[in-house]
Chains A and B, each alone.
Chain A
Amino acid sequence: MAKENTEVDAERETRTERTRAGDPTDTAPDQLISTDPGREGVAEQDDEPSGATETVIEAHGLDVYYGETRALDDVTIEIPSNRVTAMIGPSGCGKSTFLRCINRMNDLIDVARVEGDLLFDGVDVYADDVDPVALRRHVGMVFQHPNPFPKSIYDNVAYGLRVQGDTDDLDGRVEQALRRAALWEEVSDRLDDSALDLSGGQQQRLCIARAIAVDPAVILMDEPASALDPIATSKIEDLIDELAESYTVVIVTHNMQQAARISDRTAVFLTGGELVEVGPTREIFEDPEEDRVEDYITGKFG
């Protein structure tokens, strides 16, 4: 049995590696071909109103260390409000680390150390008088694997409101959050059932509902669809599109097609925690300034 196990493991490993390696090569040329720079480039300009939205999050010279290892290297970026910003890059490039800096989830890791400036709504997130708990009440987060609590659907969505002691019109706001997460129709008659009885895709939408129930300014998503099947993934992507009307969405993904489909702006991280390029998504995918970014997007790198 031991022998078999290792074989299975090895097989699984190569399979995942294959998909990982396959991603860029399969999708990137697609992107380059399918987009038409002539027409859509213009539309893109309209879509990218430099002055119309304000900057919600900005980082200046942000470094993160895990013990001795450097996870983010001098990152400077501005993230506009009411837009979807995608973070892409190979595994271990620091894109998730950056995401976790925004709501200070890195505080939960003992050895993590943050240097440089990170401003949220003009306030330095790492200033002494900022409380990470208060910060997280304005910055929602959705994780890679759906992680509903083993409680009822209702209690999951109400969790954030309850911990914040904000329980006026709880029923109405739970319903509103579930509607916005496009889940209400499916669960309205069984709010008291365990959230664990839902399918994976429904669970992830429940997690999104849970995050938006407290009406945050920003929603961080850490590869929210990577554990889901294609149909559930496309539902989540549609949802992200709608959410951008009311929220600022920052999403980490290593599916480049997905980044191209749903984001307004894209930031590319490469090995060593370096933010190589950030800009409007179309520019990044069609005409990146940096050769390394082009190499990555066309699959020569990573």
Chain B
Amino acid sequence: MNDARGEMDLSGDRGFQDVRESVYHVVLLACAVVSVLTTIGIVYSLAAPSVAFFAEVSAAEFFTATEFNVNIQPITFGVLPLAFGTIIVTVGAAAVALPLGLLTAIYLSEYADSRTRAVLKPMLEVLAGIPTVVYGYFALVYVTPFLDGVLPVELNTFNVLSASLVMGVMIVPMVSSISEDSMSAVPDTLRQGAYGLGATKFKVSTRVVVPAAVSGIASSYILAISRAVGETMIVVVAAGNLPNFPSGPGDVLPKFFEQTQTMTAAMVEVLTSEIGGGTVAYRSVFAIGLTLFGMTFALNLVSDFVAERYREEYD
């Protein structure tokens, strides 16, 4: 056979084919690099105006002043009331989403049969897929009037409570899907070991599976909180546009029934009126954006770190 084939060429000079290979390699690499450029773009777009902003407004004022007011003199750029708004909304959302998400994950992972799971999981995915502006609309138009009728307190048209309830529903799937993954990753030998010792299903779920999956659950919690911190449309539509800082610890709870302004809502409010640019108020948006980016980035890193630890445990 060899003689029929003549000299074998192994040098692999295939002319056009080689060119094509390298062109595609470069094109695909360029596609992957776009994501790095995106990060650079985000850092650039946040940092440059922020630097200009802090040249005019001291960092001390930005991080300690308890008023945020860009329209009426004296103009004050205190991020604290906005951060308070973000935190109170996030706490409300977490109070709904974290327990519901965990219980959902336990049900899906430990109790549900495969048919129920096949129906329930896509439905939960739909929860996460509804546009947030629609959730905001639900909170404003349906949830707030309903709560106003049911609760004994007086509820503002724009209020933290209904925004955070609705936001909680929205982030349930985020908690439940990651938590369920980590529970499913708990080896069955652990469960069987516990059953072997005479544990009931309830004991196995709560004393064996949940503790074993705790880092995955924690990771999902942090990620969900990060999501709530960065959420914009629900609070813009339903929670109002008035920075609202408590006068003392006892003043915190009533704030749930009043309107507030989160960091994201303040960004929207200022930018929709100051789109022209060049003003301090315009730049303050980027300073708030940078703070927000820092917060969510830190939360995501912690979540990754926690999740990484759990992977090591069982792989």
Contact = CB atoms under 8 A, between A and B. Distances in A.
Q: Do chains A and B touch in the complex (CB under 8 A)?
A: yes
Interface of A: 2-3, 5-6, 54, 56, 81-82, 120-121, 123, 125, 129-135, 138, 165, 215, 217, 246-247
B9 interface: yes
B162 to A, nearest CB: 42
Given A123-B8, A217-B5, 6 more contacts: A2-B192, A121-B8, A129-B12, A134-B10, A135-B10, A135-B12
A208 to B, nearest CB: 16
Nearest to B188: A2
B10 A165 contact: no
B38 interface: no
Contacts of A138: 5, 8, 10
A215 B4 CA distance: 10
Contact of A131 (B1, B12, B188, B189): B12
Contacts of B272: none
A114 to B, nearest CB: 16
Contact of B11 (A3, A82, A130): A130
A34 to B, nearest CB: 33
Interface of B: 1-2, 5, 8-14, 17, 188-189, 191-192
Nearest to B191: A2
The 8 closest A-B pairs by CB, nearest first: A131-B12, A134-B12, A2-B188, A130-B10, A134-B10, A129-B11, A135-B10, A138-B8
Contacts of A56: 2
B12 A165 contact: no
21 contacts: A2-B191, A56-B2, A120-B10, A121-B8, A125-B10, A129-B10, A129-B11, A129-B12, A130-B11, A130-B12, A131-B11, A133-B12, A133-B14, A134-B12, A134-B14, A135-B10, A135-B12, A138-B5, A215-B1, A217-B5, A217-B8
Given A2-B192, A131-B11, A81 B17 contact: no
B1 A134 contact: no
B1 A247 contact: yes
Nearest to A82: B1
A2 B17 CA distance: 51
Contacts of A81: 1-2
Contacts, number: 53
B10 A217 contact: no
A56 to B, nearest CB: 8
Contacts of B13: 131
Contacts of B9: 134
A147 B12 CA distance: 26
A246 B1 contact: yes
A229 B5 CA distance: 36
A56 B1 CA distance: 11
B188 to A, nearest CB: 4
A78 to B, nearest CB: 15
A5 B14 CA distance: 52
Contacts of A165: 17
Nearest to B2: A217
Nearest to A81: B2
A130 B11 CA distance: 5
A138 B12 CA distance: 11
A5 B11 CA distance: 52
A207 to B, nearest CB: 20
A134 B11 contact: yes
B118 to A, nearest CB: 16
Contact of B192 (A3, A120, A121, A246): A3
A269 B145 CA distance: 79
Given A2-B191, A3-B192, A6-B188, A131 B10 contact: yes
Contacts of A247: 1
A204 B14 CA distance: 30
A123 B10 contact: yes
A134 to B, nearest CB: 4
A217 B10 CA distance: 13
A91 B11 CA distance: 34
Contacts of A246: 1
A189 to B, nearest CB: 30
A15 B174 CA distance: 43
Contacts of B188: 2-3, 5-6
Nearest to A121: B8
A123 B11 CA distance: 10
Given A2-B188, A3-B192, A6-B188, A121 B12 contact: no
Contact of B5 (A129, A130, A133, A215): A215
B11 A121 contact: no
Contacts of B189: 6
A192 B157 CA distance: 67
**Max count, chain B CB within 10 A of own CB: residue among A120, A131, A135:** A131
Nearest to A56: B2
Contacts of A82: 1
B221 to A, nearest CB: 27
A138 to B, nearest CB: 5
A243 B8 CA distance: 20
A134 B288 CA distance: 57
